[in-house]
C-alpha cells in the first residue's frame, strides 16, 4: 500500500516585492502581492510588502507633482520650454499666413496644418484653471503673442514674449510688446 505524502506548502513570493520599488508598476505588483497575501497564502508579511508597494507609488508621484508645481528648478525649466515654444510658434503663425493669406483667428487653427503646433503653454501645464493656451490676439494684419508666465495672469511682469531680433520682427506681423 502506497502512502501519499502531503504536497509541500509553497513559499510566498517575497522577492517579487522588489518590483514594488518601481513606481506605477510597483502599485500593480503591490496590489497583486496584497491580494495573494490575504487570500492565497494568508501571510501578513506578503500583505505588508504589497501595501508598501502601493504606498511607495503614491509617495513618489505625490512628491513629483508637488515638486513640479512648487520647486523653483522645475518652474525655471517650464519657463525655458515656453520660451522655445513661443519662438517656434511665431514660425507656425507666419507659415499659416503664407499658406492661407491671413493670420489665424485663434491658435487652434494652426492645428489644421500642424497637429503638433505648440499652442499649449508649458508654464501653465500644471495650472488647472481653464485652458493653458498661449495668449494670442489677431489685430488686423498683425498679432500679439505671449505667455502669462508663472502667475497665469496676462499683462504682468512675469509674462514671456517671443525673442526675436528687430530685423526679424520688422519682417513679421508680430506686434512688439513694451
Residue-averaged pLDDT of the chain: 88
Q: How many helical (H) and strand (E) elements, i.e. helices and strands, does the chain have?
A: 5, 2
Check whether residue 95 and residue 46 sit in a common domain: no
What is residue 132's predicted lDDT score, i.e. its pLDDT?
86
The Cα–Cα gap between 85 and 72 comes to 20
Q: Can you give the CATH number for the domain in which 129 is found?
A: 3.30.700
Check whether residue 113 and residue 151 sit in a common domain: yes
81-126: pLDDT as tens digits: 999 999 999 999 999 999 999 999 999 999 999 999 999 998 887 6
Assign 128 a pLDDT band (cuts: 50, 70, 90). low
Do the domain assignments include residue 133? yes
3-state secondary structure of 171: coil
162-173: pLDDT as tens digits: 998 888 888 899
Q: Does the reported pTM lie above 0.75?
A: no
Residues of the chain with pLDDT > 70, as a percent, come to 91
| Strand extents, DSSP E, the chain | 135-139, 142-146
How many C-beta neighbours within 10 Å does residue 50 have? 25
Instruction: Decide which of 26, 49, 70 is a domain's last residue.
Output: 70
3-state secondary structure of 178: coil
Residue 129, pLDDT > 70, answer no
Do the domain assignments include residue 33? yes
Domain containing residue 139: 73-170
Residue 2, pLDDT > 70, answer no
What is residue 145's predicted lDDT score, i.e. its pLDDT?
96
Residue 29, pLDDT > 60, answer yes
What is residue 124's predicted lDDT score, i.e. its pLDDT?
82
Residue located via cell numbers 494670442: 136
Residue 3, pLDDT > 70, answer no
DSSP 122: G
Amino acid at each position: 500500500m502506497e502512502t501519499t505524502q502531503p504536497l509541500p506548502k509553497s513559499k510566498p513570493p517575497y522577492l517579487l516585492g522588489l518590483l514594488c520599488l518601481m513606481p506605477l508598476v510597483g502599485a500593480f505588483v503591490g496590489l497583486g502581492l496584497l491580494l495573494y497575501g490575504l487570500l492565497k497564502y494568508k501571510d501578513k508579511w506578503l500583505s505588508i510588502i504589497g501595501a508598501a508597494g502601493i504606498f511607495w507609488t503614491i509617495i513618489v508621484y505625490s512628491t513629483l507633482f508637488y515638486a513640479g508645481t512648487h520647486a523653483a528648478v522645475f518652474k525655471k525649466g517650464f519657463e525655458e520650454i515656453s520660451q522655445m515654444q513661443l519662438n517656434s510658434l511665431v514660425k507656425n503663425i507666419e507659415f499659416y499666413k503664407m499658406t492661407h493669406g491671413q493670420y489665424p483667428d485663434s491658435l487652434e487653427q494652426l492645428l489644421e496644418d500642424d497637429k503638433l503646433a505648440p499652442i499649449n503653454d508649458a508654464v501653465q501645464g500644471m495650472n488647472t484653471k481653464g485652458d493653458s493656451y498661449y495668449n494670442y490676439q489677431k489685430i488686423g494684419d498683425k498679432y500679439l503673442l505671449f505667455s502669462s508666465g508663472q502667475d497665469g495672469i496676462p499683462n504682468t511682469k512675469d509674462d514671456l514674449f517671443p525673442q526675436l531680433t528687430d530685423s526679424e520682427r520688422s519682417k513679421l506681423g508680430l506686434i512688439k510688446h513694451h
